A = this chain, B = another copy of it.
Amino acid sequence: MFSLIFDLEEERLKAEISKRKAKRVLIQLPEGLKPVGPRLAEIVEEAGALPIVSADPCYGACDIAISEAKNLKADLIIHYGHTEAVKAKIPTVYVEARAKVDVSKILEKALENLSPWSRIGIATTVQHIHMLDVARKILTKAGKTVIIGDAGHVKYPGQVIGCDYSNAEAIADDVEAFLFIGGGKFHAIGLALATMKPIIAVDPFENRIHPIADDVKRILKQRFMCISEAKEAESFGVLVGLKIGQIDMKAAMRIREYLKEDGKKVTMLAIREITPESLMEFPSIDAYINTACPRVAIDDASRFHKPILTTNEALVMLGKISWETLLNKGWFKHFI
């Protein structure tokens, strides 16, 4: 089923293993693709290497399993579904898992939703990046001016990832709205927070357009509440990510300094998976500042019993920037 929807590049997988004479291969898949793990392992084995599938959660290329591969003595990592974000010391092949779904039909429908605007930015995940041209043609044919951003942070122009919307931010001032192409609401919500523009989110898997304006409103309200709540806190935990692309000691040290200047108690906490259970082990801590994945605070706030702020939200809490600045600069720019 999955191989009908996503291009798993099985032939390339075999070729990479032969070419590199890999003996032990660690296969890493994002949550949605994990079910194909056993099938891919078979292919790796046929190609002559020992396959090991990582069963740990993986939400991005920030989580590339370098130390895991080292400890397992793997000589090659095959990482599915994301593009390179961290230089790995172990040879790594990225398979982008492009979606084999057509976007034309739902895009034709989206033209109605786009009718109020003439200047449109397009953004998408790597799974649909090959559809950007199709989308551009459909929109220009309908008389729209299409802009696709390229800030150079991620692999492809127009590509967005969960925590990086720089390609969209780069053109936000030049467009009236964004067309987002991709499954679910996760990236579309991120895009809205990053740009504060209207988003038409077309989902080519479900062939539908997701309304996300209410989600964004709800999240903004929640973020404002979390910041207000955290203002009352006396004891803070500063979360330092342990996933290789999420460690940001510099940001953590800076936030720690600011909190101390403000008379707060601060404990630095190193953490891999940020779960409500893990944080509940520290009852004396009133609120958290998360220097790791910004999406944990934004998307999972209701799961946690204490407020968790992103670094930029912490600056608002501390009065170093205003709520409006946060809105304008977006949630995903590292400006601390």
Which residues of A pack against B, CB within 8 Å? 26, 31, 34-35, 37-39, 41, 50-57, 65, 67-68, 71-73, 235, 237, 239-240, 242, 244, 247, 249, 265, 267-273, 278-279, 281-285
Contacts and interface: CB of A to CB of B under 8 A. Distances in A.
A53 B267 contact: yes
Given A55-B282, A278-B56, A72 B270 contact: yes
Given A38-B285, A72-B242, 10 more contacts: A37-B267, A38-B237, A52-B268, A52-B270, A53-B269, A56-B270, A65-B270, A68-B242, A71-B244, A71-B247
Q: What's the number of copies of this chain in the assembled complex?
A: 2
B37 A270 contact: no
Given A53-B267, A270-B54, A34 B281 contact: yes
A68 B249 CA distance: 13
A325 to B, nearest CB: 30
Given A73-B249, A239-B55, A68 B282 contact: no
Name the prevailing secondary structure of the A interface residues: mixed
A41 B73 CA distance: 34
22 contacts: A35-B282, A37-B267, A37-B281, A38-B237, A38-B284, A50-B268, A51-B267, A52-B240, A52-B268, A52-B270, A53-B270, A54-B271, A56-B242, A56-B270, A56-B273, A68-B242, A68-B270, A68-B272, A72-B240, A72-B242, A72-B249, A272-B272
A278 B55 contact: yes
Given A37-B267, A67-B71, A265-B38, A56 B272 contact: yes
Contact of A37 (B244, B272, B282): B282
A101 B278 CA distance: 28
A26 B268 CA distance: 10
Contacts of A50: 268
